[in-house]
Structure 1
Amino acid sequence: MTVMEAISGDPLTCFEDDSVEQAAILMNQSHVLRLAVLDRKTQRLTGVISVSDLGGIHTEPRHYEVTFFKKMSDHYGHSQHAEVMRITIVHGSKDEAIAAAMRQFERAKQVNNWSQLADGYDVTTIHHGEHGVVDEHEFTSEREARIKRRAYELWEQAGAPAGQDKEYWNRAAAEIDHQDQSEK
């Protein structure tokens, strides 16, 4: 892989004559630790400013992991996701991270549109909370969204027991997959 294939998308920049406060706000909003600094007239790079240069301003970087998948059926006929490619994006908003991951996927796989080779993608937001690293997994496929809703219903009906997430997820997945097979 080349550096061009590995970059996270368009770099975030500020100008030499911007205020320190503007740079800090941009870094905080974009969850980045550094900004490229450009000369306003020439648009040429003149340096890099980091959070530590700003004296104590803190921003929490969020990493987004975008997993592209292909839908497959297992030997029971249940729908499964086969990972095609996983891309980690280190800066920007979730929407910007998804767009950057799509561009990287298309460049790496040499296709015009990521959907030529993948059926969908899931997004995991990774950040550092008070108790360590926290993953927030967002399912973007319709199947996972249906399973999530059904698992929650089953969990509520059972009186919201603690520590049984996987059991309710598996029960809901089996129901949804059975329902989908019956409709075929």
Structure 2
Amino acid sequence: MLPRRWRLPARRVLVWARHFYPYAWAHAPLCDRYGAETVRVGHVFVCRSCAAAAAGAVAALVGALGLAGALAPVAGWGLAGSGAAGAIVLSALHNGRVRSRRGRDLSRAGLGACAGATLAAPALVGWAGLATWPALWVAALIARRRVGVGAVDRCVGCPQRTDDRACPGFERQVRAVVRIQRDL
């Protein structure tokens, strides 16, 4: 449980993230088949990919900060540079070509690990390490454009899917879209 003074800012960040996220329902359980793709943390549902990315980022950030004093500057630049390049490559692979759940989780955890290593670049090589941070923005833009590609494959074999009505998991979203279209 978060301390009381952090609850409102945390709630605001979650609301902001939900509106910023192009597929906001990816972080909410829709049906039993799609519910397996989410992880519940308290009252919040998080998709497995985002949970894996966060775990990878935290692990790499802690590891890189722990090694910061022991690494030579050349090795620090190598770690930060490979982290930045890996973040871009793995963000392009996520959901687009990797079909298995374990493969998607591992690719997103690797993306998080690369992002964590890139975030630790200032600790590894000094403030000049901030030069690797724009690679994270590129990786985030690439990953954001690829979101939702794998969701269609999970719905193909659903027994509740019919052509004449919406899937029960998407009824809320369909009703909202119909309401907006009716108001226009």
Smaller-chain TM-score bracket: under 0.3
The TM-score normalised by the length of structure 2 is 0.21
Name the structure where strand makes up a greater proportion of residues: 1
Name the structure where helix makes up a greater proportion of residues: 2
The TM-score normalised by the length of structure 1 is 0.21
Between structure 1 and structure 2, the one with the greater Rg is: 1
